[in-house]
Amino acid sequence: MLINKRQENEREDYALSFKQRIEENSRNRKTDIVLALDFPYQNPESRAALLKKAQEVLEAVHPYVCAVKINHHLTLPLGVFDGVQTLVNSAHDKGLLAIMDCKVNDIGNTNQIIAEYYYQAGFDALIANPFVGWEEGLKPIFDVAGKLKRGLILLAYMSHKGAAEGYGQTIIDAKTGKPLAQYVSFARKALAWNADGVVVGATYPEKIGEIHEILKESVPIYSPGIGAQGGAAETALKAGARYLIIGREITLAQNPAETAKNLRASIKHGE
Ligand code: XMP
């Protein structure tokens, strides 16, 4: 696989796992916030303006966050090896880690290729969906992530209202034959597969609590859904979340830097 110059230069850092690198970054920068660099739909012809806006927000907000999370909001209009790679490089230059929220969800062969492209573009971690299972599902991307010393974060309970229809359903545990909540099964898989984190919506603090009981400090919980979706930072952290994923509350604010600074100040980091 091709490794670009930047990745070669950074390889020494990769002696640490993604889980350790983000923990260290969060401690050094005294922030638990992961910036979701999301913007409203724009005509693809305006992509130069979109890239400029994303760069401006990243520049303004970077002192107050430990990582940036990018998803289809930017990969579709800007291209992974084009505008998005510029943003990933820029995030690295500012000392931030870059997470791709692509919710990998296909057969293993396709998952592996998706992961190779995103890691090649410089992403430090990807988000994947454990619904596809291990064999010929997520195993191939855990293998790639292990080889390249990158991270994999799994969904456990999403932040939107319909989450209960999938993540909240009761399943029959294949091993015991007993009923089990789907998200409990995913939390156990995250432990067994040695994932770098799980995503649990801040909109469901009771689920954060239950999942934290299973994962303890072994697998950190990333919690989106603060502000725009109705979740509260303090409640999520108290329930056991380790990182808060925050998008529109910051990116659409009149003053993103001031908003991020105030959010960081209002969150009791490390407590
Ligand atoms: P807002 O603007 O609501 O953005 O702060 C949240 C960001 O996080 C993503 N998101 C999720 N990602 N699991 C995920 O992996 C979730 O349950 C989830 N909920 C929201 C969303 O796409 C946006 O980028």
96-138 confidence digits (pLDDT tens): 999 999 999 999 999 999 999 999 999 999 999 999 999 999 9
- Region 194-217: mean pLDDT is 97
Which atom of ligand 1 has the smallest separation from the CA of 73?
Answer: 24
Band the pLDDT of 270: cuts 50, 70, 90: low
pLDDT beyond 60 at 37: yes
Paired with 100 in beta bridges are 70, 126
216 an active-site residue? no
Pocket test for ligand 1, best of 65, 157, 198, 245 (most atoms within 8 A of CB): 245
Distance between Cα 1 and ligand 1 center (Å): 31
Contact call for residues 267 and 32 (beta carbons, < 8 A)? yes
- Region 31-59: mean pLDDT is 96
Can you tell me the distance from the alpha carbon of 202 to that of 195, in angstroms, rounded to the nearest whole number?
Answer: 20
Q: In this structure, are strands 67-70 and 197-200 parallel, antiparallel, or unpaired? A: unpaired
- The closest alpha carbon to 33, from 89, 99, 81, belongs to 99
201, two tokens: 């919506």
Angle made by CA atoms 102, 206, 259, in degrees to the nearest 5:
60
pLDDT beyond 90 at 175: no
Which residues does ligand 1 sit against, CB inside 6 Å?
Answer: 36, 38, 71, 101, 103, 127, 155, 158-159, 199, 201, 224-229, 245-249
Band the pLDDT of 1: cuts 50, 70, 90: very low
Name the amino acid, one letter, at 32.
D
pLDDT beyond 80 at 7: no
pLDDT beyond 90 at 153: yes
pLDDT beyond 80 at 5: no
pLDDT tens column, 221-246: 999 999 888 899 999 999 999 999 99
Give phi and psi for 21, each to the nearest 5.
-65, -40
The predicted model scores a pTM of 0.94
Residue 228's pLDDT is 80
pLDDT beyond 90 at 150: yes
Decide: residue 53, CB within 10 A, 0-12 exposed, 13-18 middle, 19+ buried.
middle
Residue 271's pLDDT is 47
Band the pLDDT of 94: cuts 50, 70, 90: very high
Paired with 200 in beta bridges are 157
- Region 64-73: mean pLDDT is 98
- Region 206-218: mean pLDDT is 97
Looking at ligand 1, which residue's alpha carbon is closest to its atom 9? Answer: 224
Residue 229's pLDDT is 85
Q: What's the Cα-to-Cα distance from 170 to each of 53, 153, 166, 182, rounded to whole Å?
A: 43, 23, 9, 6
Which atom of ligand 1 has the smallest separation from the CA of 229?
Answer: 3
Give phi and psi for 67, each to the nearest 5.
-160, 165
